[in-house]
Amino acid sequence: MTDREMLLEHARKLMLPGALHRCHRIIKGLQARNLRGESYLRESQRLILVVSGEARFVGVEAGEHFDLKLKVGDAIFFGPRSYICPKPRQSYQSLGLLYQPDDALIKLSLTSRVPGPTGVTLSYLAQWELWRKTHLRLDYLFRLLGETAPVATADSYVHKLCELLVAEAIELLNAPTSKNPEPGSYLWERACTYLADHWADASISRASLARYLNAHPNHVSRIFRHTGKTTIAAYLNELRLMHSLDLLEDSSYNITEIAALCGYSDLQYYIYCFRRRFGNTPGQFRNQHRRRNAASSLTTTHS
């Protein structure tokens, strides 16, 4: 069975009556203060649908902590600049639909995550990508999914949008002109998209990125040096540090937990990288944020 056939099989099963259950949404992403000119935090949107096992995602939306468990048939939508912290307690497989309008990228993938003593093992079971082709219906549906739903019909409205996105995915996979890009094409864009999706995985390495891209590790390193003027390790570290800022502003996580959530297996290394990047420690950053919030609240109270 080819990758496209495997993806079609799972997508069609999700369109059966009663197959799609709860549909969650994380629509408020990172603050504008965290963005950089090079846009390490890429403007992608994604819909994830669990096809076996039980998934778990944790993170922060608009300052509020979330910890969501998804069973078979459940879906979750992540809007622009939001992020995924997959922390499963058991193995699961999911079908993912990613849309990146800036690069006109549409990506469908079937992935497996298996938790273990040293972290979560990620495997791509099937994948399909379409580059440089704007898809107006997909763009419109993702935009609707990222907007506030009518209160009276919120659940059914979001559920229907998720169904329509799966239907669009099936149509794209069935299209005769749809095909995977040639090996080696768009390597920089594909690498950045992969890291933007999986920065929280502690197991990510140059070797795993090269396997995903079907390229030699040395060639991938050259792409980062020539195109991004950086290294793979530095790019990934920047992603993790920028995401950790939001987690530091949520006091429900301690520094050790935040380091682990952001893919750092060594707490001291996280603190070292944070101090080098921002000039203070994670604890100092959190205290400064709390003082600013307290001062802002006091000003609001007396005004």
pLDDT tens digits for 125-154?
A: 998 988 766 688 888 999 898 887 766 567
**Sheet (strand 23-26) strand order:** 23-26, 75-78, 45-53, 92-100, 105-116, 119-130
Single pTM value for the model: 0.80
How many whole angstroms from its chain centre is CA 230? 22
Q: Tell me which residue has tokens 């040639």.
A: 182
293 versus 128: the higher-pLDDT residue is 128
Task: Tell me the pLDDT band of 39, cut-offs 50, 70 and 90.
Answer: very low
Q: What's residue 162's pLDDT? A: 95
Domain with CATH 1.10.10.60 in the chain: 181-303
Judge whether 65 and 252 are in contact, CB under 8 Å: yes
169 versus 59: the higher-pLDDT residue is 169
41 versus 165: the higher-pLDDT residue is 165
Kindly tell me if the per-residue pLDDT of 111 is higher than 60. yes
Judge whether 119 and 203 are in contact, CB under 8 Å: yes
Low-confidence winner among 5-14, 247-256, 261-270 (lowest mean pLDDT): 247-256
What is the fold, at CATH topology level, of the domain defined by 181-303? Arc Repressor Mutant, subunit A (1.10.10)
- By C-alpha distance, which of 56, 109, 61, 17 is closest to 246? 61
Low-confidence winner among 95-99, 104-108, 111-115, 209-213 (lowest mean pLDDT): 104-108
Task: Tell me the pLDDT band of 84, cut-offs 50, 70 and 90.
Answer: low
Q: What's residue 31's pLDDT? A: 55
301 versus 252: the higher-pLDDT residue is 252
Mean pLDDT of the chain: 85
Task: Tell me the pLDDT band of 100, cut-offs 50, 70 and 90.
Answer: confident
198 versus 74: the higher-pLDDT residue is 74
Task: Tell me the pLDDT band of 116, cut-offs 50, 70 and 90.
Answer: confident
Task: Tell me the pLDDT band of 16, cut-offs 50, 70 and 90.
Answer: very high
